[in-house]
Structure 1
């Protein structure tokens, strides 16, 4: 999604770690762009 100086990306991960087992994560990444450069980032995630 793109809107007036911001864009967002949805990322998903499903990984298995030796010490923690399987983990799933769904993350929304929000980026602010000024003068063609990313100036601010925010991450919102839900981990199962």
Structure 2
């Protein structure tokens, strides 16, 4: 899932698509990441 920087709308990029554009005309997006905390043990 991607989020448009201009209007905040969530978009989904399908496989094989290289170009995505929001309905507001923006082509700049933020990739949404799950808010999962990872714990890594140091050796």
TM-score for the superposition, normalised by structure 2: 0.27
Higher share in strand: 1
TM-score (normalizing by structure 1): 0.26
